[in-house]
């Protein structure tokens, strides 16, 4: 993708944003189960079942969720797509679906979107929208971020960046949605060098009309039915054979790692089938996906594999999630791997509520690296060393005064190496002594074939006024290295930050972090300012 095409996307996004904007609400991820993500706001804040949620980390959207179950103060969401693992504490932007009232307009909401509707503490936020003749609704956000780091060695690094995400819904009443996600940044080093990095994450047209059996997408878009596909420049087609069974496929070429040009010599394609029965509000739900995917470089197979996942809610207290990948080897891959089929990945996770206040989580992960076209001649010993197997288990419980204690343990190993282990203990306490402060303490202990140590940290946060919050974080990293060159490394860090919002539309954050280690000291400043479109 050339610089000119990036500019065109930027101009197009700006022209779309002047049409108006939808109501969005800021929340946070408070808990993760085997297959669901839980937010710290619910129906009292105006969230509705079916609302779309964007999980934000920094200026990046790392996951898209859909609200499937509500309580007054919590929301349960399924993961629609993701580019990174969702974590507790991640920011979540909920795109609240407006209720259109033509005869009796609702009064405008003047307070910040995080504040409940003043009409009734239990009623959802209701807003009136007046669709344009061309675009029924436009939503999104734009943000500017400045990151600056200075080290004791005298080196410094500054990176300003601009991020834009916009979605125009139901263009010309056709059911077609236009989505654009774009980021540009400039890296400036203390030696005077500057580097531009522009990335067009998504520029797609999608059509999915309610009660319609057919859905499609064209452009640069993501495919979430099978992992490891990422973005493609091409098309997706889905057809609902029955309300419970959907099948479809995709075909396209792979963009470059920087999100620029299309790599026409790298083709991706595949198909899938998904069966769903039940829902999250019933006692049992089953969702099964089977997909076959192939990627090819210069006409040669890079990778062909089968993907299977099962998302099971067996009861209100027990849920399981399983996924696996089976390599389909032919041509040079069959010769190299010496087999036609090979299990390269298997994962099983679960969540069990054994008591009303006690939850257990558990997991097993077994991964074997696969060969692609570029690594076909890599020695077997290097692939064997990269094979990983691990177990995970955890317990969390609610304590008096709304506190929560959780303990997680991991044990894993690579082939022929010492087992690595880690344990994390975390305690969260909201509204400490009714002061409005929220605090958490975390201690992580680990040991591996190369090092061992521990990582304690503390955090404290409070909303100072409506739309303004303050947070303090601090911690320490202690490492002891194993082997012939024994040694230790200790670093201490502290961070103060603030987040703010002005009305419904503008928001931002700023933080200052100082880190001191045995080798060097560093200071980091991050400023983020954005607007909901």
Give the SS3 label for residue 45: helix
- Looking at residue 330, its pLDDT comes to 87
Closest CA to 470 of 513, 424, 509: 509
Q: Which residues contact 257 (CB under 8 A, 6 or more apart)?
A: none
With a CB cutoff of 8 Å and minimum separation 6, the contacts of 128 are 98, 100, 101, 105, 106
Domains and CATH numbers, the chain: 23-128 (2.40.10.340), 213-386 (no CATH)
Residues 6+ away with beta carbon under 8 Å from 336:
329, 371, 376
Q: Which residues contact 451 (CB under 8 A, 6 or more apart)?
A: 479, 480, 481, 482
Q: Which two tokens stand for residue 81?
A: 């797509």
User: What's residue 281's pLDDT?
Assistant: 58
Provide the Cα torsion 459, 465, 467, 468; round to 10°: -40
Block mean pLDDT (10 aa), the chain, length 533: 42 39 66 76 74 77 80 77 74 65 30 30 36 74 91 89 89 89 88 86 88 92 76 93 94 80 88 86 81 89 91 84 90 82 89 88 82 60 62 89 88 72 90 87 88 91 86 91 77 92 83 89 92 80
Task: Write out the two tokens for 456.
Answer: 């304690």
Q: pTM (2 decimals)?
A: 0.73
CA–CA gap between residue 127 and residue 110 (Å, rounded): 11
Sign of CA dihedral 105, 106, 110, 115: negative
What is the per-residue pLDDT for 206? 93
**Which residues, including other chains, have CB under 8 Å from residue 526's CB and lie 6 or more apart?**
145, 146, 147, 148, 509, 510, 511, 513
Q: Where would I find the beta strands (DSSP E) of 88-155?
A: 91-95, 135-151
CA–CA distance, 209 with 55 (Å, rounded to integer): 24
CA–CA separation, 469 and 370 (whole Å): 46
Structure tokens at 384: 């064997």
Task: Express each pLDDT in 199-224 by its tens digit.
Answer: 888 899 999 887 889 999 999 988 77
Q: Which of 159, 150, 133, 165 is nearest to 60 (CA)?
A: 165
Q: pLDDT for 313-335, tens place per residue?
A: 888 788 888 989 999 988 878 88
What backbone torsions phi and psi does residue 383 show, to the nearest 5 degrees?
Answer: -70, -40
């Amino acid at each position: 993708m050339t610089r000119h095409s990036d500019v065109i996307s930027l101009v197009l996004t700006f022209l779309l944003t002047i049409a108006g904007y939808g109501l969005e609400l800021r929340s946070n991820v408070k808990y993760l189960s085997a297959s669901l993500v839980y937010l710290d706001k619910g129906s009292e804040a105006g969230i509705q079942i079916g609302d779309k949620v964007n999980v934000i980390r920094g200026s990046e959207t790392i996951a898209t969720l859909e609200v499937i179950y509500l309580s007054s103060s919590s929301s349960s969401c399924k993961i629609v797509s993701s580019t990174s693992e969702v974590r507790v504490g991640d920011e979540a932007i909920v795109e609240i679906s407006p209720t259109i009232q033509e005869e009796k307009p609702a009064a405008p909401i003047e307070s910040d979107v995080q504040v409940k509707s003043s009409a009734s503490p239990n009623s959802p936020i209701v807003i009136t929208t007046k669709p344009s003749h061309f675009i029924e609704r436009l939503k999104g956000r734009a943000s500017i971020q400045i990151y600056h780091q200075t080290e004791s060695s005298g080196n410094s690094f500054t990176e300003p960046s601009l991020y834009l995400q916009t979605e125009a819904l139901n263009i010309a009443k056709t059911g077609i949605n236009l989505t654009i996600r774009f980021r540009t940044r400039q890296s400036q080093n203390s030696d005077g060098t500057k580097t531009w990095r522009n990335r067009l994450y998504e520029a797609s047209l999608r059509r999915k009309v309610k009660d319609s059996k057919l859905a499609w997408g064209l452009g640069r878009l993501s495919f979430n039915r099978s992992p490891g596909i990422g973005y493609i420049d091409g098309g997706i087609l889905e057809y609902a054979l029955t309300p419970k069974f959907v099948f479809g496929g995709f075909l396209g070429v792979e963009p470059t790692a920087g999100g620029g040009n299309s790599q026409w010599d790298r083709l991706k394609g595949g198909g899938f089938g998904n069966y769903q029965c039940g829902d999250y509000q019933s006692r049992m739900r089953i969702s099964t996906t089977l997909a076959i995917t192939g990627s090819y470089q210069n006409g040669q197979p890079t990778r062909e594999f089968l993907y299977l996942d099962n998302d099971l809610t067996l009861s209100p207290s027990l849920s399981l999630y399983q996924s696996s990948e089976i390599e389909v080897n032919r041509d040079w891959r069959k010769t190299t791997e010496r087999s036609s089929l090979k299990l390269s990945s298997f994962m099983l996770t679960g969540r069990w509520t054994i008591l009303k206040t006690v939850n257990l989580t558990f997991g097993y992960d077994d991964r074997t690296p696969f060969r692609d076209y570029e690594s076909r001649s890599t020695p077997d010993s290097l692939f064997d060393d990269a094979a990983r197997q691990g177990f995970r288990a955890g317990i969390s419980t609610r304590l008096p005064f709304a506190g929560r204690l959780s303990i997680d343990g991991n044990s894993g190993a690579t082939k022929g190496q010492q087992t690595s282990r880690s344990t994390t203990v975390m305690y969260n306490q909201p509204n400490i002594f009714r002061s409005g402060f929220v605090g958490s303490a975390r201690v992580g202990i680990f040991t591996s074939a190369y090092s061992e140590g521990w990582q304690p940290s503390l955090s404290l946060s409070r909303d100072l006024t409506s739309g303004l919050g303050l947070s303090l974080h601090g911690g320490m990293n202690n490492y002891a290295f194993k082997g012939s060159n024994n040694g230790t490394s200790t670093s201490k860090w502290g961070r103060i930050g603030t987040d703010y919002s002005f009305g419904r539309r503008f928001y931002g954050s700023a933080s200052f972090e100082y880190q001191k280690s045995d080798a060097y000291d560093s200071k980091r400043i991050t400023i983020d300012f954005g607007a909901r479109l």
